[in-house]
């Protein structure tokens, strides 16, 4: 949704929500297994226990203002939230047998929260449009991982 209160100022609001409650992870067979003749190309190494679900949302805005002297400013801000849960059974090989497939199961539960802000200073000249960019990204978890 965009609102333009003047010819020099524009505000755009953005939002996204996506819910994928039932996706199936890819569980291909090792190449040797279909070649053995005991499985078709349509078989997979998965199990009914497999599952993948994801919810993601985003809200943000873009605001732009152009001054009369050729300078302009832009700010873009976004908040993202993603929740993912996956359960999978993967093939590890045929264990030297044409009729047995070794598999293992695992599960992941992942969450992401992210805030991104991008500030831009623009100047239009007779030689073209030049943009000087500075930005800020908030990642509070990143600092303690790389501390000495």
3-class SS of residue 2: strand
Q: Model confidence over 38-70: pLDDT tens digits? A: 666 556 565 666 778 899 999 999 999 999 887
Q: Indicate if the pLDDT at residue 134 is higher than 90.
A: no
Q: Model confidence over 98-121: pLDDT tens digits? A: 667 777 778 888 898 888 888 888
Pair 23, 54: CB distance under 8 Å:
yes
Contacts of 71 (CB under 8 A, 6+ apart): 121, 122, 123, 124
> What distance in Å separates the CA atoms of residue 33 and residue 60, rounded to the nearest whole number?
48
């Amino acid at each position: 949704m965009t609102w333009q209160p003047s010819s020099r100022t524009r505000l755009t609001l953005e939002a996204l929500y996506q819910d994928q409650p039932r996706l199936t992870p890819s569980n291909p067979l090792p190449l040797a297994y279909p070649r053995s003749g005991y499985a078709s190309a349509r078989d997979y190494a998965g199990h009914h226990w497999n599952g993948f679900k994801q919810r993601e949302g985003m809200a943000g805005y873009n605001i732009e203002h152009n001054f009369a002297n050729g300078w302009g400013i832009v700010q873009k801000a976004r908040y993202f939230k993603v929740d993912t849960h996956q359960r999978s059974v993967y093939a590890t090989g045929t264990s030297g047998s044409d009729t047995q497939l070794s598999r293992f199961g695992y599960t992941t539960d992942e969450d992401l929260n992210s805030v991104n802000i991008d500030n831009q200073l623009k100047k239009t000249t007779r030689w073209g449009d030049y943009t000087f960019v500075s930005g800020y990204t908030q990642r509070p978890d990143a600092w303690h991982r790389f501390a000495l």
